[in-house]
Amino acid sequence: MMIKIKYIFRGWLTTAFCVFSALLMCSVGHASDAKTGLAGKMIVGYQGWFGCPGDFEKNDNWQHWFLGRVQQDHFTVDLLPSIRGIDAEDLCDTGLSRPDGSAILLFSSQNQRVVATHFRWMAEHGIDGAAVQRFVGELVTPEKKRRGDNVIKNVRLASVASDRVFYVTYDVSGANPKTVVEDIRNDWHHLVDELKITTSPSYLKEHGKPVLQLWGFGFGDRPGTADEVAALINDLKGGHDGLQAVTLIGGVPTHWRTLSGDSKSDPSWAKVYRSYDVISPWSVGRFSNDEEADVFIKNNVVPDLAETKRLKLEYMPVISPGFSWYNLMTNRGNKDQAVLNRTPRNCGKFLWHQVSNLLDAHVETLYAAMFDEVDEGTALFPVETRKDKLPTGATMVFLNQDGCALPDDWYLRVTGKAAEYLRLRQAPPKNMDAVLRP
């Protein structure tokens, strides 16, 4: 009898273990699935280019905050980050102050704890992950390349800690036309073989391959010939020439289908664009209000979707909360383009209207530009909401500018709520107030 009971118990224990193991594998499978595929994901662009003196190696410059002197009229950003939630020891004192006398503190993307906080904010608001910008033009300068490497390392650690995904986007703006393609080839070898970023459990995979984006090829003012870009795409997709094979996103011009407007007109680019796995047309600045956004959907997105469906390609449109680059243009001497609050945010409704339109068109993934882009006023992360919180004498945009009373993380909340509807494959109500209020 005791032997029988012993075997019954052992059988029950074995059954229980198998059930537990199955549940565990199921759980692990779901976790793994969350790191696979673009469908249902809200991805934010992450510049990671901000710096301050003493932040890494021997850097003694403010980077992407000021041009030249540290003064209120030398800012190159139009939004001031809210530093709530970041320890003072991780911030840099500018020496500038607010009207109440409090110090203006800024951050460096070289600080691992700052990047970890950024990714924690993504997680807290239900944003799936980030496309980390890699600027090809900086790869030829060793110290700039090492700074870029450090940002990637920070992102890798932060993404794992926050259970977010990430992938690399090569931005060819300003790159050397003679070497841009070879620079990308060499750097992808470096990232994969030396930094081993694609072995990270948080590096996004699609169709079993790591995701990579090339942004800017084919724009009228960007480098790269159609033939050399076609060869690069072929090698990256196929894993040729010692390169790790990838699922390739093309950050293409708005008018990629028609080879007009912002696109180069050479007919050979038509084939290049259609050789990507995922098409992601740039749309920031192409419309500035809801009415223009509706026209953009009709004239661009709907035919884009029809074309990508015909080609069996994926489609990843871009959304943005607004636009302003007054300080950037002023300090570069382009005062005719220096318009403050050029595309008003309208308290989040401008962004929400884009999301509603795109999900109503059955788009399955979205790229939000950008998480930390305060230079051009598209940042989604927390920024100052009131004019009296801005540096004394500075000209900047603040979140309440369009007649709102918003929390500093309002645009993370809007983006996170949009991500909920994206995961459900549902179009949200046209009226944002019906589901989200400050």
Query: pLDDT tens digits for 351-400?
Result: 999 999 999 999 999 999 999 999 999 999 999 999 999 999 999 999 99
Residue-level pLDDT at 34: 57
CA dist 102 → 25, 106, 312 (Å): 53, 13, 55
- Give mean pLDDT, residues 167-182: 98
Confidence of residue 21 (pLDDT cuts 50, 70, 90): very low
Is residue 69 packed enough to be buried (19+ CB in 10 Å), middle (13-18) or exposed (0-12)? exposed
pTM (2 decimals)?
A: 0.92
What is the C-alpha to C-alpha distance for residues 140 and 157, in angstroms, rounded to an integer?
Answer: 25
Q: Is the pLDDT of residue 33 over 70?
A: no
Is the pLDDT confidence value at 1 over 70?
Answer: no
- In the predicted structure, residue 46 carries a pLDDT above the cut 80: yes
Give Cα 21 to chain centroid, integer Å. Answer: 37
Across residues 246-252, what is the average pLDDT? 98
For residue 183, pLDDT over 50 is answered with yes
More confident: 122 or 36 = 122
For residue 35, what pLDDT band results from cuts at 50, 70 and 90?
Answer: confident
Average pLDDT over residues 30-42: 73
Question: What is the radius of gyration, based on Cα positions, of the chain?
Answer: 23
Instruction: State the pLDDT at residue 56.
Output: 97
**HSE-up of residue 29 (Cα within 13 Å, Cβ side):** 6
SS3 104: strand
For 225-233, the CB contacts below 8 A with 24+ separation are: 226/264, 226/266, 226/268, 226/269, 226/271, 226/272, 227/268, 228/181, 229/181, 229/272, 230/268, 230/271, 230/272, 230/275, 231/181, 232/181, 232/184, 232/185, 233/272, 233/275, 233/276
Contacts of 160 (CB under 8 A, 6+ apart): 200, 201, 202
Please answer whether residues 91 and 62 qualify as being in contact, where contact means their C-beta atoms are separated by less than 8 angstroms. Answer: no
Q: How much is the pLDDT for 36?
A: 84
Sorting pLDDT into bands at 50, 70 and 90, what band is 401? very high
Whether 334 has a pLDDT exceeding 70, the answer reads yes
- For 138-163, what is the mean pLDDT? 98
Give mean pLDDT, residues 187-206.
98
Query: Is 24's pLDDT higher than 80?
Result: no
Helices 112-124, 142-162: axis angle to 10 degrees equals 40
Domain 41-434: which CATH number of 3.40.50.2000, 3.20.20.80, 3.50.50.60, 2.40.40.20:
3.20.20.80
Alpha helices in 301-369 (DSSP H): 302-311, 326-331, 349-360
Q: What is the largest CA-CA distance in the chain?
A: 94
pLDDT of 408 above 60? yes
Alpha carbons 10 and 2: distance in angstroms, whole number: 12
User: Is the predicted pLDDT of residue 9 greater than 50, yes or no?
Assistant: no
Question: Which of 18-32, 235-249, 296-310, 316-330 has the lowest average pLDDT?
Answer: 18-32
Mean predicted confidence (pLDDT) in 32-41: 78
| Residue 308 predicted with pLDDT over 70 | yes
